[in-house]
Structures are given as structure tokens and as C-alpha cells.
Amino acid sequence: MPAPVLVVIAHGSRDPRHAATVHALVRRVRSLRPELRVETGFLDFNIPSVPGVLESLALEGVRDVVALPLLLTRAFHAKADIPAVLRDAPRRLRIHQAEVLGPSPLLMSALERRLSEAGLTPADKPSTGVVLASAGSTDPEAIAVIAEIAREWRQTGWCAVRPAFASAGFPRTEDAVRELRALGCKRVAVAPYVLAPGFLPDRIARGAAEADVLADVLGPAPEVARVLLERYDAARTPALAALGA
């Protein structure tokens, strides 16, 4: 019995860097598990669209799909947009929606990787404050998750960690940078908790103007690819059980 096809569902953006980063991440997933078929669909702005990908798979005779939201928190897109798109999928497809990527210890490792690549070392931790800068959301659950990640990350040895939001929430990145300065942190680093470049990540970067270090977006970090496969495996287990596999 063939394994379910993994369909990665990305938001999409007018910024070409977004799609390029999504495709780079999917290539890394394929490299980690070459036998797995992985397709990519976008909710908006980019092609192929999610409905187009699902229709093509149905026409090929594919029966089982794991739809994986390329999202870090369970906010509006995960709770409303994506389920609505999946409900309209061809009926012959058996679709299992995977959980969003975060929170995950692997994503925290990816944040650490990006800060290391930006020049920070383990010895810098006690004197460095970090701004965990996310895109932001009007969903209280998503905001609470970001705040909890910041609290947990603080326990790994950083001078302080503060959450910040590029939209729909406060503080903004620049305000969190100033707060960490006021706390007496010797240096301040901004770690974007976003997957790909775009409008809101650019706003985070502008807000980091007074910081000492700005890390890159998570993008195709190996840890992110491993989270995708973890979420796929968790979702495919009931799919295979239903088939008696």
C-alpha cells in the first residue's frame, strides 16, 4: 500500500522570496526521505494552488493525502481557511490534516541555529537578550503559544527573551529591543520566528535596526524539515490504520 502523499500547504505571497524559500524547504524534506512523494500548494498569490494540486492527485488515482499546514501556530488559516479548502477537495481523496509545525523543540533548535549563523556563540548567552519576533495574530491561542515559547527559551541560558509581533499584537520588535536594553542586556538579538521572507518579516527586520544581531528567517533549516516529517508521520498513522496497513 503506497504511503499517503504529503501536500505542504503554504500561505503564498506576492514576494517571490516566499515561494522560493518554501520550495527550498520542500526540497530538504525530499532529501531527508527520498521515497516520500511531497507536493506543494499555495492558498493565495502563488501557483500551484491547493485545489489544483488536490485535483491533479485525484486524477492520477491517488487515494490518501496528508495535508500539512506550513504554519507555526494554530491561528485563522489553520482553523478556518485550510479546513475549508480541504472540504472542497475531490471526494475520492482521503485527506488527513496534520498539525501545524509549532511549538516544537526542533523549532527552538532552528532558532538557535540561525542566531549562531548570525555570529552568536554559547558564551554570549548570559549577556544577550533575544527578541522572539513573530508575524502576529488576532488569535489568543497563537499569541499565548509565542509567549510560552519565549518563557521556555529563556530557561536555556539567555539573559532574557521577549516576544514581539509584527502585526495584530504588541510589543513591536523595536519596543522589545528597547526593553531588553533597559534591562541591562549587553547585546540584543532579534530572532524572527517566521518561515519565509515577506512583508511582515521585512517589518521585523526594520524593527531590529537598533539590535546588535538580526538572525535569518527559519526557512529550510534542517530542523524545520524534520518537524514537517514528524507532523506527517503523526497524521499518516491513522490513515494507514484505516487501511489496515
Between the CA atoms of 22, 25, 30 and 36, what dihedral angle is there, to the nearest 10 degrees? -60
Quote the pLDDT of residue 237.
Answer: 82
C-alpha cell at 141: 491561542
Phi, psi dihedral angles at 148 (to 5 degrees): -70, -40
Task: Give the single-character DSSP code of 66.
Answer: E
Quote the pLDDT of residue 75.
Answer: 79
- pLDDT tens digit sequence for 45-55: 999 999 999 99
- pLDDT tens digit sequence for 118-153: 999 999 999 999 999 999 998 899 999 999 999 999
C-alpha cell at 170: 504588541
Please report which confidence band the pLDDT of residue 245 belongs to, taking 50, 70 and 90 as the band edges.
Answer: very low
Distance from CA of residue 187 to its chain's centroid?
A: 26
Residue 164 confidence (pLDDT) above 50: yes
Decide which of 75 and 141 is more confident.
Answer: 141
CA distance 100 to 122: 29
Strands (E), the chain: 5-10, 38-42, 64-69, 94-97, 128-134, 160-165, 187-192, 213-214
CA distance 22 to 9: 10
Written as one letter, the residue type at 70 is L
Quote the pLDDT of residue 118.
Answer: 98
- Region 157-161 average pLDDT: 98
